[in-house]
Amino acid sequence: MDKVKTIAINVAVVVAISLALLWGNTLYRQYVQFDKGEKALLAGDFTAAVAGYEAAIHMYTPGSSVVPRAAQKLWDLGQMAEGRHDTARALIAYRALRSSFYAVAGSYAPGQDWIARCDARIADLVLQQKGRPGPSGN
């Protein structure tokens, strides 16, 4: 019986270490992608900024402060594009934000508030593109 107990403990330790390493690696890559988004934004590269922030969200780790920051950055990019009347880029930013949270959904679906906000903005912008005022009256 002691042998079975020792094996079970060893397996549990290996699993715990493996999960910790996986979580740490994912968190590190999340920070790297967020940093790529920040550098691209500073360089004025909209496409690379969206890609960096979107990738950071795709590497979702529970409790990470990077995910809400990346989500806010994508939202801000959409808002800035709207302010410049660049509907195409605004749609890119909002759709990237929305699809990022859809991509990480599993038994737990984070970002439902962001998805709802993006759905509203996307619907409004699509109506504007068709020449009809959206629900917000724009």
pLDDT in tens, 100-129: 999 998 778 899 999 999 999 999 999 988
Residue 3 is predicted with a pLDDT of 86
Closest of 55, 45, 52, 41 to residue 104, by C-alpha = 55
- pLDDT at residue 96 is higher than 70: yes
Residue 30 is predicted with a pLDDT of 95
Cα separation of 51 and 18, whole Å?
29
- pLDDT at residue 41 is higher than 90: yes
Residue 102 is predicted with a pLDDT of 94
Rounded to two decimals, the pTM is 0.84
Cα separation of 59 and 86, whole Å?
28
Q: pLDDT grade, residue 132 (50/70/90)?
A: low
Residue 61 is predicted with a pLDDT of 85
Residue 76 is predicted with a pLDDT of 98
Closest of 68, 92, 57 to residue 78, by C-alpha = 92
Mean pLDDT calculated for residue range 22-28 = 91
Closest of 89, 73, 29 to residue 55, by C-alpha = 29
Return all residues near 81 (Cβ < 8 A) that are at least 6 apart: 46, 87, 88, 89, 90, 92, 93
The chain-wide mean pLDDT, for the chain, equals 92
Residue 131 is predicted with a pLDDT of 75
Mean pLDDT calculated for residue range 4-28 = 92
Q: Which fold does the domain 2-129 belong to in CATH?
A: 1.25.40
Residue 108 is predicted with a pLDDT of 82
Closest of 72, 81, 82, 84 to residue 47, by C-alpha = 81
**Three-state secondary structure call for residue 136:** coil
Among residues of the chain, what percentage have pLDDT more than 70?
A: 95
Return all residues near 9 (Cβ < 8 A) that are at least 6 apart: none
